[in-house]
Amino acid sequence: MAESKADTKSSNQMWGGRFASGPDAIMEEINASIGFDKKLFAQDIRGSIAHATMLAHQGIISAEDKDKIVHGLNTILSEIESGNFEFSRRLEDIHMNIEARLATLIGPAAGRLHTARSRNDQVALDFRLWVKEELEKTEKMLTGLIAAFLDRAEEHAESVMPGFTHLQTAQPVTFGHHCMAYVEMFGRDRSRVRHAIEHLDESPIGAAALAGTGYPIDRHMTAKALGFREPTRNSIDTVSDRDFAIEFLSIAAITGMHLSRLAEEIVIWSTPQFGFVRLSDAFSTGSSIMPQKKNPDAAELVRAKTGRINGSLVALLTIMKGLPLAYSKDMQEDKEQVFDAAESLELAIAAMTGMVRDMTVNTARMKAAAGSGFSTATDLADWLVREAGLPFRDAHHVTGRAVALAESKGCDLAELPLADLQAIHAAITDKVYDVLTVEASVASRKSFGGTAPSEVRRQIAFWRARN
Ligand code: ARG
């Protein structure tokens, strides 16, 4: 029955072809996270310095050992930053790689660093610090995107374009108003980011493996040193929780969805058929076969990155959903999802900010499109209610007949002769032509949050003060 040690180490004949050696190599490959968690080196070292400093302050380790540890950790930091650190897969993860190097550098004192902590609270700390920094970066980037939209909205507070529902011409709006719709979306995304920072602003270190520790540690001291508001309150939750990562991913998914809708609109607007915007050369590419083409590749890729971010969110939710408390190794799979989504999100925000700032808006094309498709039909109906006292339902019916007539004559509502309109309803006078232009239509919609240029300017002022 018992196989010799040498046998278990050699590659299995049935399924081991892919592996150079036996099960040990497979275990190493599935177990190691150093390939991706080396990204956490700076956070790991910061956390260890705070922990060692606290241990010495509490008399748990000596001041001399603490000094050696801190000095050694700073040496390792510069080694990694300058590319002079050899990561080893045999040492599994970033925590053990750094600790092993510390032992080589400073000897036995290195062994005292891991007093009163575990890799479980260590990884929870490192990852939280990383996600917190990423959220802070996201907040700044969203502020940049909002600023780009505010500038375009100001420039185009009066530029008329067709507003759509079902992607069918609905009513004229201003391009400034449309831009401000995105400001509202990205403004909500930014406030979600701010809330997420508040949620995760608690320090995990000191929860140890899961139960806390018998050493007289001071978790408030490490929390303060690491820039957290306070320590976490429950050690079991602390090492089990990955909500902060899932919250980041859900915010990334919602923001990505908004970016993707914007990307889709840019793809549509930049077609020769629409011609509402022209993308700068910087954000488009040519075709290798069709010389006339200018493709909105960056917008298309932003649209696609959203799929990837959604995938990461679903992956981590699924990884976590069946895990009993407290830590399980499954949780090691959290990092790649977050790192990948963060990279996609950063790129997507940067690309859309650039596109919004650089694109040329064709106001003449927009205005021409705004006037077609009987976009002022509602204005005619509203005029009949206001000036001729018709109930809205009747006004809607009368307007429908006017639209049908214009359609059969191949003209716009504003081009129908007064006699034709009066044949449909006797109360119509030549004053009606005042509301049938797109400018009049837009200017009349002064309700709070409406599309009138005066309202759009009010919205812009609100967001400028809020930034
Ligand atoms: N590399 C591990 C992770 O990322 C660190 C924690 C390991 N803890 C343990 N008990 N094996 O989750």
Q: What is the DSSP string of 319-333?
A: HHHTPPSS--GGGGG
Give the span between the Cα atoms of 103 and 98, in whole angstroms: 9
Placement of tokens 């190599």 in the chain: 25
Measured by CA distance, the residue closest to atom 7 of ligand 1 is 119
Give the span between the Cα atoms of 79 and 35, in whole angstroms: 17
| Best residue among 28, 39, 332 to mutate for probing ligand 1, ranked by most atoms within 8 Å of CB | 332
Q: Are 21 and 31 in contact (CB under 8 A)?
A: no
Nearest-atom number in ligand 1 for the CA of 37 is 4
Give the span between the Cα atoms of 368 and 316, in whole angstroms: 48
**CA geometry: angle at 334 spanning 116 and 194, to 5°?**
90
Question: Does any ligand 1 atom lie closer than 6 A to the CB of residue 124?
Answer: no
CA of 118 to the centre of ligand 1 (A): 9
Give the span between the Cα atoms of 243 and 196, in whole angstroms: 10
88 included as an active-site residue:
no
Which pLDDT score is estimated for 89?
94
Residue-by-residue pLDDT tens, the chain, 467 positions? 343 444 444 455 555 566 666 668 889 999 999 999 999 999 999 999 999 999 999 999 999 999 999 999 999 999 999 999 999 999 999 999 999 999 999 999 999 999 999 999 999 999 999 999 999 999 999 999 999 999 999 999 999 999 999 999 889 999 999 999 999 999 999 999 999 999 999 999 999 999 999 999 999 999 999 999 999 999 999 999 999 999 999 999 999 999 999 999 999 999 999 999 999 888 877 777 777 777 899 999 999 999 999 999 999 999 999 999 999 999 999 999 999 999 999 999 999 999 999 999 999 999 999 988 788 899 999 999 999 999 999 999 999 999 999 999 999 888 999 999 999 999 999 999 988 889 989 999 999 999 999 999 999 999 999 97
Measured by CA distance, the residue closest to atom 2 of ligand 1 is 332
Give the span between the Cα atoms of 251 and 193, in whole angstroms: 7
Taking only the tens place, the pLDDT of each residue in 265-309 is 999 999 999 999 999 888 877 777 777 777 899 999 999 999 999
Q: What does the block give as tokens for 12? A: 């299995």
| Best residue among 36, 40, 119, 130 to mutate for probing ligand 1, ranked by most atoms within 8 Å of CB | 119
What per-residue string of b and e applies to 177-209 under the rule 16 or more CB within 10 Å gives b?
A: bbbbebbebbbebbebbeebbeebebbbbbbbe
Which pLDDT score is estimated for 4?
41
State the catalytic residue, choosing from 10, 21, 280, 287: 287
Taking only the tens place, the pLDDT of each residue in 203-258 is 999 999 999 999 999 999 999 999 999 999 999 999 999 999 999 999 999 999 99
CB atoms within 10 A of CB 38: 16
Which pLDDT score is estimated for 251?
98
CA distances from 166 to 163, 350, 370 (A): 10, 29, 15
| Best residue among 123, 335, 336 to mutate for probing ligand 1, ranked by most atoms within 8 Å of CB | 123
Task: Region of 440 please: left (phi>0), alpha (psi -120 to 50) or beta.
Answer: alpha
Which pLDDT score is estimated for 1?
38
Give the span between the Cα atoms of 69 and 76, in whole angstroms: 10
Give the span between the Cα atoms of 21 and 31, in whole angstroms: 16
Beta bridge partners of 231: 203
Residues 6 or more apart whose CB falls under 8 angstroms from that of 98 comprise: 41, 44, 45, 48, 73, 76
Which pLDDT score is estimated for 23?
65
CA of 128 to the centre of ligand 1 (A): 14
95 included as an active-site residue:
no
Residues 6 or more apart whose CB falls under 8 angstroms from that of 42 comprise: 77
**CA geometry: angle at 24 spanning 20 and 25, to 5°?**
35
Question: Does any ligand 1 atom lie closer than 6 A to the CB of residue 190?
Answer: no
Which pLDDT score is estimated for 15?
55
CA distances from 168 to 85, 247, 369 (A): 60, 36, 11
Nearest-atom number in ligand 1 for the CA of 33 is 1
Give the span between the Cα atoms of 161 and 152, in whole angstroms: 14
Which pLDDT score is estimated for 130?
98
